[in-house]
Structure 1
Amino acid sequence: MDEQKSNCEENDSEPAESIRVCALCNCLERSLHGQRELRYFELPFERPAHKRSASQLPKPGNDDLSSIGFSDSPCLRALLDDSGCWVHHWCAAWSEGVNLTENEELENVDKAIISGTQQICEYCKRFGATIRCHIEGCTRFYHFPCSAASGSFQSMKELLLLCPEHINKAEELGEDSWCAVCDSAGDLTDLLFCTGCGLHYHATCLDTGATPILRAGWQCPECKVCQTCQPGEDSKMLVCDSCEKGCHTFCLQPAMDSVPTDRWKCRSCRVCMECGVRGLVLPGTTQWFENYTLCEGCQHHRSSVCCVCSKSDNPPVSLQCCSLCH
């Protein structure tokens, strides 16, 4: 039976005050959803008189889609770091009302942050959504990761989004909506959006499934990089069997010495088939079994209880282990 280690995540012991979190999607800097780097934007408010305490900070989300955004309307001053906020590049650039200047700077980000504190995402039903469907009169808003997860159409060339209700309008964009493999729009609901180059691919053309977790932060084969340290050392790259996101073996915590021959799943995609616990809520050193479908606790319980009489091995008894299901 193979023991399988979990993947990388931010250090749990890092002080809350030093953690940089996006003021829109509420994800950490090293997110798996393709939001790009965190940028600092000044806001037209006075600097807080006192440094924020950990209790004042909104609890940062992780790479589980269900934790993106804010469960309650966040207090704007709680998001302030000195006199501004940290926001992912794509979370800001795609927001309604934000403009790209001739100097490649983003303006009106402050207005987007303010509106996000009151706007609920159509997909996750949490606050912080600032990306609106491009169709006039449509009132659907999304976080950047949720826009992809929802199956919306995204155009990097135009920085516009079409919600699933209006996705048929993407055909009017011509080649921008074509699949890079079959050179046609085909089934628009099956398109995957690469957060690296902006090209689209039909999931069926790549022989994969367009699930929400795969859509969010998806990268095409040409753009795939480590989600932790970005480009380099492709020979040491692990690709998740479920969401297809990559990570170097040496970027894992704990690190791996070599690329495993068996299938590998990142922490976001690990779910115990017995207790239902997700990998993201367990420590990074937790061991997983049965192709990452059985957590360490359930494996220990399974190995100490008879599957016929349900009695434990206390007092010790001789339990035979099945060579197939263990």
Structure 2
Amino acid sequence: MDEQKTNCEENDSEPTDDNTTAKQLVSSDGESKVIPAADESGANAASSNTSSESVRACALCNCVERSLHGQRELRHFGPFSERPTLKPSASPLPQPGNDDLSSIGFSDSPCLTALLDDSGCWVHYWCAVWSEGVKQTEDEELENVDKAVISGTQRICAYCKRLGATIQCHAEGCSRFYHFPCSAASGSFQSMKQLVLLCLEHIDKAEELGEESWCAVCDSAGELTDLLFCTGCGLHYHAACLEIGATPIQRAGWQCPECKVCQTCQPGEDSKMLVCDACDKGYHTFCLQPAMDSLPTDPWKCRRCRVCMVCGVRGLVLPGSAQWFDNYTVCEGCQHHRSSVCCVCSKAANPSVALQCCSMCH
């Protein structure tokens, strides 16, 4: 029986930070080492090989530098002149999260000696500058980042319920804190000019900011909960005005049409840009592995957003050459099994017996 391809005429995979970019490890003696980055299924095993090494990740959101959530670059802060005396601990630093929203932050209070040592710490720029208590000097240096990291180890994010949250709702009396990616994913309002966050309960106060809360398309505040925040320019757009969704994965690290860049070459040649139908992130056709010769006519999903509804396997776990079916909801293995098993008796077909195919569910 012939197998019908759906949305997968080209086999492709994004050469992302997880599978093509080498990660730098900083050992206890200060020397940098480079190892191949593990993919999602590898669970960054390199970080647990030895307690003297740790993958360079943000001390607040626990994501690596090339994250898809718009935190900008990792910056080193410190060394700090005043630092609390921290007891040595054998507990390893939690493994850095991938770009799944479920892995942002820390499930347990992280080892402070690993997050904040004598040399300082690594924090994404946006994670730092939005944090409660962090101040920017006239020469654009950030102060009190170390205090934010320490306080974050005791603060639970109101969205993901994990530690490392340092961005507080601006409404008076509100005690909600968020990670930077979670603030967008939760649907909170963010003002880049004033570095103000308003949680969903207090989002109506965004109207007091005037044009800051207006949609760049319709020039009105409209439905505030429908606004998407661009991590590039800081403008807001109603999802309805752009005729796109407003799911948490789309909101986190969202870029408007003017700011959207390829998540692989960031930024690069502005041509042949594919936009994922699920997360709205952009990729060049020639940055995929293998590269695609042309733009597909059907909706397309990046590897991070492909999940088989039959076996649950995720796209990043499979090789880039793997084919997908039914709008990227059925992996190659499950499709092969489905096409060789009778839907009535669930038995494999005898090679000499031809299976009848339904034109609707094939």
Q: What TM-score does the superposition give when structure 2 sets the normalisation length?
A: 0.81
Q: Which residue of 2 aligns with 1:255?
A: 290
Taking the aligned partners of 2:254 and 2:354, their CA distance within structure 1 comes to 45
Q: Which residue of 1 aligns with 2:248?
A: 212
Q: 1:321 to 1:124 in 2, by over 3 A?
A: farther
Structure 2 unaligned spans of 5+: 20-35, 38-45, 48-52
- Whether contact under 8 Å (1:227, 1:245) holds in the other structure is yes
Q: 1:73 to 1:321 in 2, by over 3 A?
A: farther
Q: Which residue of 2 aligns with 1:9?
A: 16
Cα deviation code 1:123-159 (max 9, x no counterpart): 0001111100011211100000100010100000001
Q: 1:309 to 1:22 in 2, by over 3 A?
A: same
What is the number of residues matched between the two proteins?
322
Q: Secondary structure in 1 aligned to 2:72? A: coil
Q: 1:172 to 1:249 in 2, by over 3 A?
A: same
The Cα of 1:200 is off from its aligned counterpart by 0.5
The Cα of 1:85 is off from its aligned counterpart by 1.8
Alignment of 1:80-159 (within 5 A): 80=116, 83-159=119-195
The reply to whether residue 23 of structure 1 matches residue 23 of structure 2 is no
CA RMSD for the aligned pairs? 2.6
The Cα of 1:82 is off from its aligned counterpart by 6.5
Q: Which residue of 2 aligns with 1:234?
A: 270
Taking the aligned partners of 1:244 and 1:70, their CA distance within structure 2 comes to 26
AA in 2 matched with 1:153: F
The reply to whether residue 163 of structure 1 matches residue 199 of structure 2 is yes
The Cα of 1:30 is off from its aligned counterpart by 1.0
Aligned counterpart in structure 2 of residue 70 of structure 1, from 82, 102, 106: 106
- Whether contact under 8 Å (1:34, 1:216) holds in the other structure is yes
Q: Secondary structure in 2 aligned to 1:214? A: helix
Aligned counterpart in structure 2 of residue 186 of structure 1, from 202, 222, 226: 222
AA in 1 matched with 2:275: V
Taking the aligned partners of 2:356 and 2:144, their CA distance within structure 1 comes to 63
The Cα of 1:182 is off from its aligned counterpart by 0.8
- Whether contact under 8 Å (1:43, 1:110) holds in the other structure is no
Taking the aligned partners of 1:67 and 1:103, their CA distance within structure 2 comes to 34
Provide the identity percentage.
75
Q: Which residue of 2 aligns with 1:295?
A: 331
The Cα of 1:250 is off from its aligned counterpart by 3.5
Taking the aligned partners of 1:19 and 1:317, their CA distance within structure 2 comes to 55
- Whether contact under 8 Å (1:249, 1:255) holds in the other structure is no
Q: What TM-score does the superposition give when structure 1 sets the normalisation length?
A: 0.90
Q: 1:209 to 1:19 in 2, by over 3 A?
A: same
Q: 1:27 to 1:283 in 2, by over 3 A?
A: farther
- Whether contact under 8 Å (2:272, 2:295) holds in the other structure is no
Structure 1 unaligned spans of 5+: none
Q: 1:319 to 1:35 in 2, by over 3 A?
A: farther
Cα deviation code 1:168-213 (max 9, x no counterpart): 0000000000111111111111101000000001111111121111
The reply to whether residue 39 of structure 1 matches residue 75 of structure 2 is yes
AA in 2 matched with 1:258: D
Q: Which residue of 1 aligns with 2:31?
A: none
Taking the aligned partners of 2:152 and 2:142, their CA distance within structure 1 comes to 17
Taking the aligned partners of 1:161 and 1:61, their CA distance within structure 2 comes to 23
Q: Which one is further off, 155-164 or 64-73? A: 64-73
- Whether contact under 8 Å (1:96, 1:132) holds in the other structure is yes
The reply to whether residue 305 of structure 1 matches residue 341 of structure 2 is yes
The Cα of 1:81 is off from its aligned counterpart by 6.9
- Whether contact under 8 Å (2:307, 2:314) holds in the other structure is yes
Q: Which one is further off, 57-66 or 91-100? A: 57-66
Alignment of 1:243-282 (within 5 A): 243-252=279-288, 254-261=289-296, 262-282=298-318
